[in-house]
Structure 1
Amino acid sequence: MTVLCRTLLAMSLLALPAAPAMASTSALVVGVDKYPHEVSLDGAVRDAQDVTQALKAADVAPIRQFINEQATKDAIRAAWGELVAAAERGDTIVFTYAGHGAQMPELVAGSEEDGLDEFLELPGFDRARAEETASEIIVDNELSAWFAEAEAKGIHVLFVSDSCYSGGMNRSISGKTRLAPMVRAKLPPPSKEALSGAKVRDVELSQVTILAASLESQPTPEVVIGGEPRGALSWSFARALEGAADRDGDGRISRVELEDYVFSNVKLQSEALQVPNFTPQLARSDKEIVLSLPRSAKVGVAPTVSGTKHALKSPRETGWTGNLPLSVVGDMPDLANIGGDGVPYRWEATSGVFYTPNGDVAAEHVAPKRLQGVVDKFILVDFLKALAAQSPGAVSLKPVKDIYFAGDRLNVEAPQGGYANMLVFNLANTGEAQLLDVQIAGSESHAFKLRDLEVVKPFGADHLVVIATNAPVDAIAAAFANSDLDAAALLRLLETRLEGSESTIAVQPLYTRGQGQ
């Protein structure tokens, strides 16, 4: 009888219509640090390896990875062709690139509005022998032809380019930028793919989404994240893949979810040096899905019962130690909570200037007795960044600049969130914590707005912080009334209340300088 039941069950299962195959995701990952004929980079390979690890954790397969000298155009083109051939309608291919980008006069006359082609520069390209080595660049029109191949099969493409093509910055950054010089030397006639790709218009690539590290008018710098040179876009994208962008925990990342997460975290990790750029600029629909990751909800931040708000993990689980690596030029004062690995902050005893690991001036005229307060401020900033990377909030500063000068006026705004409480404060470059607004459950809630704020001394790096939370904030607000509240004490208050809470955190860096500096 048991055998008969099993046989009938098997026959009934065979008679059922086949379930639709689940769409799959594959990936092509390229990272280049070593350029024999160009200034080499420091963080592009780390970016590629980080993205690959996050893809593997999300069960993405196959993944084709090309690092440094492995990144030849023929190898990358062949891998792309294999992924397209193996994919079926509705599948997704993720293509990420971390390395140098550059520009040159357009190869196909009239194909570019600005008369310039952008290209990804591979290790084998030598601008001194541009005509001979031109096969080791991937021109934007060629990428369009590649994407059109996938489009023709109904395959979704997400291209993430952590490189740059043009632009300049006002802030002094000690790290490298992923910008190679303009190529003006004569190149061979465009390839067949470049010719065909020049005819492809963006509107024809209806299933292709491109995420660039910055606007064409901006550089893409390598910044220090976790003590190491990295690309802020690649770092943020890897965290998104781990599930941090999947706010509703459904295992799928929508265009809106990816955009909200990446914009917030690139600004945060680059200290407001970059604004990412999506193509198309707006989502095609409110429910447009750019990635389906079966394991994203498992490897990321777990959703709460509400399904939309997330319980924050302790930053110590993500590598935050509560210490700050610091290099001192001159006599070392007696300081607490310093040490650790990675690129350090720096303080010059003679001038009193305090520098970030990126080389930015974070504070001026810092006397030895004030140094501990500045150290504690950046320990707190790192703590808040670790929380914000899990659940980013929103705050905007207008006009948008990488640096503001004395006399500039600006507006700050934070939207009203769906949380019971909101706390808005400034961490000044002097190390002081200044309460700007507090909204407590039961009181009237509102969007926070600070209008016509003028930039005045002291100059350096301020950090505006907006915490929207369901955790109680009464005691924190009361502590701000105490003039003795410093960054170290505020850290203790926040650490005990925010870990495990449903919260979002937004941090807006604000770098200022005197006129003529």
Structure 2
Amino acid sequence: MTPRWTTMQRPRGLERLIGRLCVAIALAVLIGFLSPRAQAAGGLSISNPDGGAVRALVIGIDDYQHVRKLRGAVADATDIVSSLRTMGVGDVVELTNAQADRASILREVSALVERTRNNDLIFLSIAGHGTQEPERVKGSEPDGMENVFLLPGFETTPAGSVQRILGSEFNHFIRQFELRGAKVIFVADTCHGGGMVRDIDPRAAEMSFRQVPRYTLLVDELKPVTDRNDPKSELDLDHTAFIAAVDRHTKAPEVRIPGIDGLRGALSYAVARAVEGNADINHDGKVTLKELFSNVRQVVYQLSDQRQNVVTISSPAQRLETDVAFELTRGVVLIQGPTAGAAPGQTGAAAPIEGRAPAPLPVTATAPVAPTGAAPVALRVAAPIRLAALDGKTNYFTSVKPQDIAVQAVQPTDNPDLIWDPVSHDVIAWGDVVAYGVDVTGLPTVVDRTAAIRELKRMATRSPQVMRMWPDDRQQRRGQTVEVDLSDVASKAVLLFNVSGDGTIQMLYPIGSDASLARSANLRLPLKVGEPFGAEQIVAVTSQQRMVDLENVLIQLNRRRASGQVIKSLERYLPADARIGSIGFFSVP
């Protein structure tokens, strides 16, 4: 069945306005792409715009002794440390697992304060469990609850109570850096309270979240580090940028990053790529706070399938548009924009629209044909899709032979990419139903689609097109209206399409009388939810030039199960300045 996302019913006179409703939102320009590892190999390095040194303390904890262990926080710390060192930062201290006890952290922070000089830039990063406790300084938090970071030996005994660090203590440390004339970037890849907007399907494998339930300490032996100069809150600091994985009301999951084994924190991954150069949106060699915040927010939003909305806070005296977080240099030459042959960047996603598809093309058994003269392009060699049956049997999958990727049959407990329910025939991925009622013969297209989405996410991390789905990430039901909002697209060519849960492509924009170039900074499309239900991946591609070949391919692929062909076409026809947005959301009957 073809995906049917419909535009809202409207008077005939408003027909041409759909897809062009403008909203005045100024967001950072995200153009171009340079491979982070290629940049580093070419001598690209990070530097401090104020002339001082760049220093860092990076903490990651998986191995908790008395609360649930995590699976990706140490990898997060290692990734950020590797990126900083690759980019030329020499003063980097890494504390992981048992190394990250309270005494060691206090000792290393104190030593870092002593090394800090005027105009230095300090990176502080922590990945691990968080929670909340009643605030100690009355009025310091809007909800009366203080954020707390748990250390490996924490438990609710008197001795175990010492193994935690209060959010107010980190503010104390940051003030010490500021008093020495330094600027600080603080990254908290953890969560402290709240739940989720979108429920997890109970048949899914257990998900890992960076939060423990609130607790009661009958005896608290922690003696906080504090003095009278401490700020009451983050807003009382002067030269500090805060980046948190989620707000105070939602959980931070550990996610799968395309091409990387195991689980990771989406925020830490995004920060590591930003440090390597991805956040330099306009390629002028200067990463402003606005560029840093915008890049990290979009990458996390996409990698988490909307489950995470990063929180960014800057000191009141800082100017987001002009204050430079860090610079990128290659010898004495600033980074230049991509050349004509550079690999394009990609990101984001958009939703399908009922009534916005061109006239359906006849579906035949013939594979879609690319425009004349195009050289054949194969999908990147990638790890196989791990497929499990809910009952643990693997004999169902002997005939499952996808076109674009290999399949590995595993157990439901072996970190599968997809779980198939042999009773309902639903296909589940990472807590969400990807497709409903798929029998074994239909599984190959779902597997191919999974591989294609994995590649889309990888592409979208490089140079994302800013894109949002409204109103939120909850499951959308039949007849509900959602909106796709693209930012900063004035005078740019826009292509918008959907990849449904069974791999069917649906062209969304431009169709009919839609303008090939967006006329305003924002493009907002209202969509109405229809069947088939499950996963939808909305993809936006933008460029300064019209993408005629790619547009023609998408029209040919419209209403066909051809997710792999879409990836090949993107790799073949994307212009050098392309940006991609790729956002997944989920619908239910």
Residue 464 of structure 1: aligned partner = 538
Q: Are the structure 2 counterparts of residues 145 and 480 from structure 1 closer, same or farther at C-alpha, using a change threshold of 3 Å?
A: closer
Aligned equivalent of 1:223, options 247, 252, 255? 255
Please give the alpha-carbon distance, in whole angstroms, between the structure 2 residues aligned to 1:120 and 1:403.
Answer: 31
Distance apart, 1:140 and its partner CA: 1.1
Whose helix fraction is larger, Structure 1's or Structure 2's?
Answer: 1
1:62 aligns with 2:97: no
Q: Which moved more, 1:489-498 or 1:245-254?
A: 245-254
Q: Are the structure 2 counterparts of residues 296 and 237 from structure 1 closer, same or farther at C-alpha, using a change threshold of 3 Å?
A: farther
RMSD over aligned Cα atoms: 3.2
Aligned equivalent of 2:428, options 330, 334, 355? 355
Distance apart, 1:21 and its partner CA: 8.4
Distance apart, 1:372 and its partner CA: 2.3
Residue 5 of structure 1: aligned partner = none
How many residues get paired?
A: 484
- Asked if 1 retains the 8 angstrom alpha-carbon contact of 2:494 and 2:517, the reply is no
Residue 179 of structure 2: aligned partner = 152
Please give the TM-score of this superposition, normalised by the length of structure 1. 0.85
Any gaps of 5 or more consecutive residues in structure 2?
Answer: 1-48, 348-378, 390-394, 409-414
1:489 aligns with 2:521: no
Residue 4 of structure 1: aligned partner = none
**After superposition, what is the alpha-carbon deviation per residue over 1:92-141, rounded to whole angstroms, capped at 9, x for unaligned?**
110110100011222344443322221100012112x0x32222111011
Residue 112 of structure 2: aligned partner = 83
SS of the aligned residue for 2:387 comes to: strand
- Asked if 1 retains the 8 angstrom alpha-carbon contact of 2:346 and 2:581, the reply is no
Q: Are the structure 2 counterparts of residues 192 and 477 from structure 1 closer, same or farther at C-alpha, using a change threshold of 3 Å?
A: closer
Residue 192 of structure 2: aligned partner = 165
- Asked if 1 retains the 8 angstrom alpha-carbon contact of 2:499 and 2:538, the reply is yes
Distance apart, 1:443 and its partner CA: 4.7
Report 1:206-221 matches (<5 A): 206-221=238-253
Q: Are the structure 2 counterparts of residues 157 and 344 from structure 1 closer, same or farther at C-alpha, using a change threshold of 3 Å?
A: same
1:508 aligns with 2:573: no
Residue 18 of structure 2: aligned partner = none
**After superposition, what is the alpha-carbon deviation per residue over 1:115-173, rounded to whole angstroms, capped at 9, x for unaligned?**
2221100012112x0x3222211101111111111111121011100000111123316
Distance apart, 1:471 and its partner CA: 6.3
Residue 77 of structure 2: aligned partner = 48
Q: Which moved more, 1:27-36 or 1:99-108?
A: 99-108
Please give the alpha-carbon distance, in whole angstroms, between the structure 2 residues aligned to 1:143 and 1:296.
Answer: 35
- Asked if 1 retains the 8 angstrom alpha-carbon contact of 2:285 and 2:335, the reply is no
Q: Which moved more, 1:435-444 or 1:487-496?
A: 435-444
Please give the alpha-carbon distance, in whole angstroms, between the structure 2 residues aligned to 1:26 and 1:478.
Answer: 50
Residue 383 of structure 1: aligned partner = 455
Residue 381 of structure 2: aligned partner = 321
Aligned equivalent of 2:313, options 279, 289, 306? 279
Residue 424 of structure 1: aligned partner = 496
Residue 10 of structure 1: aligned partner = none
- Asked if 2 retains the 8 angstrom alpha-carbon contact of 1:246 and 1:296, the reply is no
Please give the TM-score of this superposition, normalised by the length of structure 2. 0.75
Percent identical: 26
Report 1:239-318 matches (<5 A): 239-280=273-314, 284-294=319-329, 303-304=337-338, 311-312=343-344
Please give the alpha-carbon distance, in whole angstroms, between the structure 2 residues aligned to 1:68 and 1:296.
Answer: 37
Q: Are the structure 2 counterparts of residues 73 and 380 from structure 1 closer, same or farther at C-alpha, using a change threshold of 3 Å?
A: same
Any gaps of 5 or more consecutive residues in structure 1?
Answer: 1-19
Please give the alpha-carbon distance, in whole angstroms, between the structure 2 residues aligned to 1:314 and 1:150.
Answer: 37
Please give the alpha-carbon distance, in whole angstroms, between the structure 2 residues aligned to 1:119 and 1:320.
Answer: 42
Matched residue type, 1:215: D
Q: Are the structure 2 counterparts of residues 72 and 417 from structure 1 closer, same or farther at C-alpha, using a change threshold of 3 Å?
A: same
Q: Are the structure 2 counterparts of residues 310 and 163 from structure 1 closer, same or farther at C-alpha, using a change threshold of 3 Å?
A: farther
Residue 10 of structure 2: aligned partner = none
1:331 aligns with 2:405: no
Q: Which moved more, 1:265-274 or 1:396-405?
A: 396-405
**After superposition, what is the alpha-carbon deviation per residue over 1:169-200, rounded to whole angstroms, capped at 9, x for unaligned?**
23316321000121222343763534647653
**After superposition, what is the alpha-carbon deviation per residue over 1:195-242, rounded to whole angstroms, capped at 9, x for unaligned?**
647653434311011100001111001111134211010111111111
**After superposition, what is the alpha-carbon deviation per residue over 1:452-503, rounded to whole angstroms, capped at 9, x for unaligned?**
x2333322110111001256632332234435642222222222112x7221
Matched residue type, 2:381: T
Please give the alpha-carbon distance, in whole angstroms, between the structure 2 residues aligned to 1:476 and 1:444.
Answer: 15
Q: Are the structure 2 counterparts of residues 296 and 231 from structure 1 closer, same or farther at C-alpha, using a change threshold of 3 Å?
A: farther
Matched residue type, 2:425: G
Please give the alpha-carbon distance, in whole angstroms, between the structure 2 residues aligned to 1:272 and 1:432.
Answer: 21
- Asked if 2 retains the 8 angstrom alpha-carbon contact of 1:455 and 1:512, the reply is yes
Please give the alpha-carbon distance, in whole angstroms, between the structure 1 residues aligned to 2:491 and 2:219.
Answer: 58
Please give the alpha-carbon distance, in whole angstroms, between the structure 2 residues aligned to 1:155 and 1:314.
Answer: 34
- Asked if 2 retains the 8 angstrom alpha-carbon contact of 1:54 and 1:241, the reply is yes
Q: Are the structure 2 counterparts of residues 344 and 478 from structure 1 closer, same or farther at C-alpha, using a change threshold of 3 Å?
A: same
